[in-house]
Amino acid sequence: MSADDWSALAGVSSTVLALAAVVVALVAFRSEHRRANFEIARVLHHDLTTGEVAAARKLVGSLHYGDFGSQPATADWGDSLTAYFTLLWCFERIEAGRGALWRKGVRNGRRGDDAVGYLDELVAWHVAEYACGFAIARRKLADASAAEVSDDKSAAGFHRLLLALQDKGLVDRTYRAGECPGAECPCACHQQTAS
């Protein structure tokens, strides 16, 4: 081989090495990126199950599962109303976070993101429960205060999340945004009443 051949070979080798380094860096970047997305999904779910939201769930749960006319787990209906909105706003954050993860995935050429699927699996049963729970709690709060609960904007994120999870087949389609479908409702609260 001539000196020129050796030099050309060395040039090709260094190009291949440089490309390999780029591929390794890209894979590392993607995996770090993926880890960060899963961490966002984990934190969004954590928000739903801890702290002030967990406390709010107790109050909304007592409205959801308590008999009509019974007092909630607090003497103050104002506390129940605060809990109702605290929980709605938590779902609003989850829906906004889910949307941001989804758009990130689309920008990277994927239909959504693995982390969105992970988040959807985590929150699906919570969304199903509160599809009925919010509707029942809302009626009881309205009865107690003799005024409708004005929650259109606060509930919009939860409704979008419900529809998205129903489209993916993760939440029963019988549930409706903003109202309990009555006799057909699959929620456990109705089975409890019937027994």
State the residues that interact with Zn ion by CB under 5 A. Answer: 132, 180, 185, 187, 189
Cβ count within 10 A of residue 159: 17
41 vs 131, beta carbon nearer Zn ion: 131
3-class secondary-structure state, position 176: strand
Q: How far is the CB of 79 from Zn ion (least distance, A)?
A: 21
Nearer to Zn ion, 87 or 180 (CB): 180
The structure tokens 């049963």 sit at 125
C-alpha distances out from residue 47 to 41, 86, 122, Å: 10, 11, 12
Per-residue buried b or exposed e for 99-134, using 16+ beta carbons within 10 Å of the residue's own CB: eebbebbeeeeeebbebbebbbebbbebbbbbbbbb
Comparing CB distances to Zn ion, the nearer of 45 and 140 is 140
**Comparison of 63 and 115: residue with beta carbon closer to Zn ion:** 63
Residue 187 Cβ vs Zn ion, minimum distance, rounded to whole Å? 3
Report in angstroms how near the CB of residue 127 gets to Zn ion at its nearest: 13
CB of 132 to Zn ion, least distance (A): 3
